[in-house]
């Protein structure tokens, strides 16, 4: 004996199953929005442990965790990426950011600034997109050059007048 369902019956069963699945998912999301402050802190602590692992794959455990409109899987991935970017001074980690909670270009600018500050490098400064960070990077570069050459005149390469004055003052105090 073979069971036969009409097309109408099959559509009805599929619709009931879809509604049940959607209701379950909606309940799960509503439940996360109604967390007590203590439950939120506990969930955030769980994500902190995932971040400390340093493993992007561990962040999958936070998939779907959305507290007060913030996607904690993205928080986890962003924190691992930014920590690695600053530890290694490597731009590739900036590309792992979600570009919403943490901006890729801000990360790259800061890494370039840190690289240029540790080893004076005009090329690194010229790759910085943010005008304020670019000006600061150039000021650091020319100040270090002025110190190396023991000449305040080198500070005239700095366009920003405040940075130029600071360069001169800094160099004069160290001559």
| Higher per-residue confidence, 6 vs 47 | 47
Sign of CA dihedral 32, 37, 40, 42: negative
Tokens 């990360």 belong to residue: 107
Element (H, E) at 60: none
| pLDDT given at position 35 | 84
* pTM of the full structure: 0.70
**Average pLDDT of the chain, as a whole number:** 86
| pLDDT given at position 28 | 47
Q: What is the pLDDT of residues 46-65, one digit of tens each?
A: 999 999 999 999 999 999 99
Q: Is the pLDDT of residue 10 over 70?
A: no
Domain boundaries in the chain?
Answer: 104-175
Residue 138, burial from CB neighbour count under 10 angstroms (0-12, 13-18, 19+) = buried
């Amino acid at each position: 004996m073979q069971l036969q369902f009409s097309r109408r019956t099959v559509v009805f069963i599929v619709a009931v199953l879809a509604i049940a699945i959607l209701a379950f998912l909606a309940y799960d999301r509503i439940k996360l929005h109604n967390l007590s402050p203590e439950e939120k802190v506990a969930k955030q602590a769980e994500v902190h442990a995932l971040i400390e692992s340093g493993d992007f794959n561990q962040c999958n455990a936070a998939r779907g965790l959305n507290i007060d409109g913030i996607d904690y899987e993205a928080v986890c991935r962003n924190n691992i990426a930014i920590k690695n970017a600053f530890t290694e001074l490597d731009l590739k980690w900036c590309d792992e950011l979600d570009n919403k909670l943490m901006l890729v270009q801000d990360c790259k600018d800061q890494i370039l600034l840190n690289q240029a500050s540790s080893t004076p490098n005009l090329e690194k400064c010229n790759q910085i997109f943010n005008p304020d960070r670019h000006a600061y990077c150039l000021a650091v570069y020319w100040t270090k050059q002025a110190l190396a050459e023991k000449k305040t005149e080198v500070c005239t390469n700095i366009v920003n007048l405040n940075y130029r004055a600071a360069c001169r003052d800094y160099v004069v105090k160290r001559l």
